[in-house]
Structure 1
Amino acid sequence: MKKILITLSITAAFLIAVPPYFLGFSIFNLGHAVQVGTSLSAKLACSARYVSGFDDQQIASDLSSYSPVTELVELQWSESPSQVSANLFGLAPTVATYRDGIGCSLDHDEGFDLDSLAVQKTEIRPDVEWPRGSLVTTINSELQSTLDNIIQQDNEQGLNSRAMVVVQDGKIVAEAYGDNTHPETPLLGWSMAKSVTAMMLGRLELEGKVSRDTSGLFPEWNDERANLKLHDLLQMSSGLTFDETYAPGSDATYMLFTAPSASDVAMTSPQGYKPSTHFSYSSGTTNLLSRYIQQLLDNQPQNTMNFLTRELFAPAGIATATFETDPSGVLVGSSYLYASGRDWARLGLMMAENGEINGYQVLAPEWVEAASTPNNSDNEKAYGYQFWLNRGDEQLRWPSLPEDAYAMMGNRKQSVMVIPSEQVVLVRLGWTSGEYPMEQNYKDLLQSM
């Protein structure tokens, strides 16, 4: 077992001495903060190594961007089985395990037998043009030059852009990659997974297995929540209360880093607003959607994996994607989908083409239209079915982009921008902890077309 110590030149005594706010947590949540620090480190390090293929230095840098606490976490690597163990000065020991096709999940005593799951990977031909295959012969030299300049400037400024892909009229016309990344590197989309979770429900609807007007979603909801419709959850306007703050002690951190079942956390959320009246961005809501998908598929994790591959990934030619589960075997639909820049672009292209890709009608055009239509909430209408919209509120979200633009978006400034009027899809994957000039960069790319 290879041992790596990720540390700053400070001691445990300094950890106690420095103010809690410097470490990124309240002293009242110290116990949970330590657990979150080790769990986050183990989970992200495991996926970074065994899914994305990053080295120790890259992993340490990525973790440190979240909290100084992670720089004090000791990581131990095991290749057989593929695991990462983490502890903080011997406290809160945590293990994350990698499984081929399944990715990494935190080990938990209360969990599903994830070793029993199998994923059939999509095979695509290297001699067939993208998106059906992996051959790309349609690069626009002028546009490629613009994109090369953007990613170079990004990384000179420390913005850490890793993959950028431009699709026009169904073809890749420019793509660029940062250090340690190539066209097949699976990269974490964070909350872009939410959009894909919605697309799974769109596929289930086309197959006649669900309706957006369905209510009585969960047997556990035998109160006013029984009136909630699937439509309400898709638009983040269910009115359920969920603490999306990413700090120790919150619903969100408990859900992602300590709970054996991510959806269990949101399942207990009380009704705070009348359905459809109040938009509230909630990763918990998306994990309820993941749970509902599995419920529709007979509560069998293997059925969910089979459906995902057969009905969504395979028709699109997506071969690099890994959608990870929580310890209970339910997809973490809010956060844990890894895919290459080209595969994220395939997902965007499916939306841009009204649900069709490679000759397959994966989603109904009516569903795609509804997914990109503003909601009816009182406070923020520019959000569809787990997609951020440019239109819907008094001002455009991205004033310099076409009004019909909408996007998958995720932490660290991930984005897949779909612009139907231009038949364009723009992808950016990276690891930016601060601001990122997405709108300006996408505007420059559009002007170069």
Structure 2
Amino acid sequence: MKKTITITTAALTAVALTFALLAPKLLGFSVTQLGAAVRVATSMGAKLACSGYFISGPDKNRILDDLASYSPANRLLDLHYGDNRVTAELLGLGHASASYRDGLGCTLDIGDTSVLDRVRLAPLTSNGEEWPQGETASHINVDLQKRVETTLSRDNAAGLDTRALLVVQDGVIAAEAYAPGIDAQTPLLGWSMGKSVTAIMQGRLETLGLADSTVKPVFAEWKSDERARIALDDLLHMSSGLDFDETYAPGSDATEMLFNAHSASDIALVRPATYTPGEHFSYSSGTTNLIARWIHEHLGGDVQASLDFLRQELLQPLNMAHTVFEMDPSGVFVGSSYLYASARDWARLGLLMLNRGQWEGAQLLSEDWVARATAPNTSANEPRYGYQFWLNSGGEELRYPQLPADAYFMLGNRKQVVMISPSTNTVVVRLGWSAGSYPTGENFAGLLPQPDVASD
């Protein structure tokens, strides 16, 4: 027989007080941030659990471990997995839910989400042809495969939690390895690597003659103030001058944007300008979501049109059948953060850039756009950033001294990496969940083509 447990108001109050007292030392936020912290914990829990369960696979223990890596408070979450929905509760103090839709992934249930229910999507297709056209990988380099497997094994023995490691050399998959429970078709969260994909969407629009990155103002809401000087090019370079708090703490711009807003881009849209455009680099997820909003508006402000564009102009041509780009509750892509793709699909994006925008005879991105996307920006404080890509060179020193100077990267939280190395004709993909540092330079250098050693 099931026991019924009654929680009194006094008990809840005691829990709340205990939670608040423990927060500064154990959980990383102050008593005054308790309400915001509960909102973040429950919303993050519902969102990541929903996407992790329905997109990446139903490993509930891994999902909870992933959440706890951000805060031990998340181990107190009570997660309920239902039919296409996950709810999260925290000690009776807060509640949030997220819903899954085929082809769209998961979205927090904030406000009116009915626009997402009206979307109709045909399944993306793949085939048995050789990668990248299909899913067959028959050009494995035995020596490199051993190095990849050794690297993944060493990472995980050290607690770095590498889940996928893949190397493309000369246009083919030369080696790949996966952690238990993950395979070549498992979509994994790239976090901020989605920023690079948002830029690629803008680049595709520009290549089709449907966009101009120099036009000002970017939004009608900015036409009458200092933000009228901001061009899309400035947003792409993270040098718009907008004041956006990227701190991931309860109540910040970034957490409100991802976990409490009906429209993620609304948060950055109303922020004031504090620097002259182009002069100061400031990493901002809000900036990327403004680009996503601009793309959405440029495509008519229609959810179906935005999804059709992504799928018809990028995912299907690139044979990316294991990718989901999630939207906010208003129906705009969360370009900063919520793209799930298999390691092979992330590698396809890297190969597109490596090939200077060409794919199977078609110029999906103009060579001029790729050149601009991978060139340093004009800011005084951090020029090693292109159009939502991190550059190895362009400043006083290399970001990763062990790697080629011309290498550039998609980078995401928990050390997600896609490296594009033109001089070695290589793409390396690393997906995982490292809460601390990761030896990207050292590990990737060991996976690049090795110089021939002359025999005596």
Please state which band the TM-score falls in when normalised by the shorter chain. over 0.9
Q: Residue by residue, what CA displacement relative to the aligned partner does 1:391-424 show, whole Å, maximum 9, x if unpaired?
A: 1110011111111000000000000000011110
1:121–1:309 Cα contact (<8 Å) kept: no
Aligned: 1:295 with 2:288: no
Q: Residue by residue, what CA displacement relative to the aligned partner does 1:57-93 show, whole Å, maximum 9, x if unpaired?
A: 11111111010111111111112xx100111112221
From 385, 390, 393, the counterpart of 1:391: 393
Instruction: Return the letter of the residue paired with 1:138.
Output: H
SS in 2 for 1:446: coil
Q: Which residue of 1 aligns with 2:165?
A: 164
Aligned: 1:411 with 2:413: yes
SS in 1 for 2:163: strand
Q: Counterparts of 1:45-194 in structure 2 under 5 Å?
A: 45-79=49-83, 82-126=84-128, 128-194=129-195
Q: Which residue of 1 aligns with 2:8?
A: none
Give, in angstroms, the shift of residue 109 of structure 1: 2.0
Superposed CA RMSD in Å reads 1.4
Give, in angstroms, the shift of residue 40 of structure 1: 0.3
Q: Take 2:79 and 2:206, find their aligned partners in 1: how far apart are those partners?
A: 43
Q: Which residue of 2 aligns with 1:433?
A: 435
1:102–1:118 Cα contact (<8 Å) kept: no
Q: Take 2:20 and 2:396, find their aligned partners in 1: how far apart are those partners?
A: 48
Q: Take 1:55 and 1:303, find their aligned partners in 2: how far apart are those partners?
A: 34
Q: Residue by residue, what CA displacement relative to the aligned partner does 1:110-163 show, whole Å, maximum 9, x if unpaired?
A: 44521112333321112x110001111000000000011000000111110001
Q: Which residue of 2 aligns with 1:3?
A: none
Against the structure 1 CA distance between its residues 280 and 16, is the aligned structure 2 distance closer, same or farther, given a 3 Å change threshold?
Answer: closer
1:294–1:300 Cα contact (<8 Å) kept: yes
Q: Which residue of 2 aligns with 1:285?
A: 287
Instruction: Return the letter of the residue paired with 2:428.
Output: L
Instruction: Return the letter of the residue paired with 1:348.
Output: G
Q: Residue by residue, what CA displacement relative to the aligned partner does 1:377-398 show, whole Å, maximum 9, x if unpaired?
A: 0100000000000011100111
Aligned: 1:321 with 2:323: yes
Q: Residue by residue, what CA displacement relative to the aligned partner does 1:151-188 show, whole Å, maximum 9, x if unpaired?
A: 00001111100011100111000000011100000000
Give, in angstroms, the shift of residue 217 of structure 1: 1.2
Q: Take 2:210 and 2:89, find their aligned partners in 1: how far apart are those partners?
A: 44
SS in 2 for 1:285: helix
Instruction: Work out the number of aligned pairs and report it.
Output: 437
Q: Take 2:373 and 2:434, find their aligned partners in 1: how far apart are those partners?
A: 27
Q: Residue by residue, what CA displacement relative to the aligned partner does 1:196-250 show, whole Å, maximum 9, x if unpaired?
A: 0000000000111111111111111131112211100000000001000000010
Q: Take 1:189 and 1:427, find their aligned partners in 2: how far apart are those partners?
A: 11
Q: Take 2:58 and 2:154, find their aligned partners in 1: how far apart are those partners?
A: 22
From 22, 44, 47, the counterpart of 2:26: 22
1:375–1:381 Cα contact (<8 Å) kept: yes
Q: Which residue of 2 aligns with 1:5?
A: none
TM-score (norm 2): 0.94
Instruction: Return the letter of the residue paired with 2:69.
Output: S
Q: Which residue of 2 aligns with 1:44?
A: 48
Instruction: Return the letter of the residue paired with 2:146.
Output: S
Q: Which residue of 1 aligns with 2:7?
A: none
SS in 2 for 1:391: coil
Give, in angstroms, the shift of residue 370 of structure 1: 0.5
Give, in angstroms, the shift of residue 358 of structure 1: 2.5
Q: Take 2:284 and 2:229, find their aligned partners in 1: how far apart are those partners?
A: 19
Instruction: Return the letter of the residue paired with 2:429.
Output: V
SS in 2 for 1:113: helix
Q: Take 1:224 and 1:19, find their aligned partners in 2: how far apart are those partners?
A: 40
Instruction: Return the letter of the residue paired with 2:56.
Output: S
2:424–2:449 Cα contact (<8 Å) kept: no
SS in 2 for 1:98: strand
SS in 1 for 2:65: helix
Q: Counterparts of 1:369-380 in structure 2 under 5 Å?
A: 369-380=371-382
TM-score (norm 1): 0.95
Instruction: Return the letter of the residue paired with 1:382.
Output: R
SS in 2 for 1:233: helix
Percent sequence identity over matched residues?
52
Give, in angstroms, the shift of residue 26 of structure 1: 2.2
From 241, 244, 262, the counterpart of 2:243: 241
Q: Take 2:233 and 2:413, find their aligned partners in 1: how far apart are those partners?
A: 24
1:131–1:358 Cα contact (<8 Å) kept: no
SS in 1 for 2:316: helix
1:33–1:248 Cα contact (<8 Å) kept: yes
Comparing 17-26 and 405-414, the one that deviates more:
17-26
Q: Which residue of 1 aligns with 2:363?
A: 361
Q: Residue by residue, what CA displacement relative to the aligned partner does 1:319-362 show, whole Å, maximum 9, x if unpaired?
A: 00000000000000000000000000000000000001223211
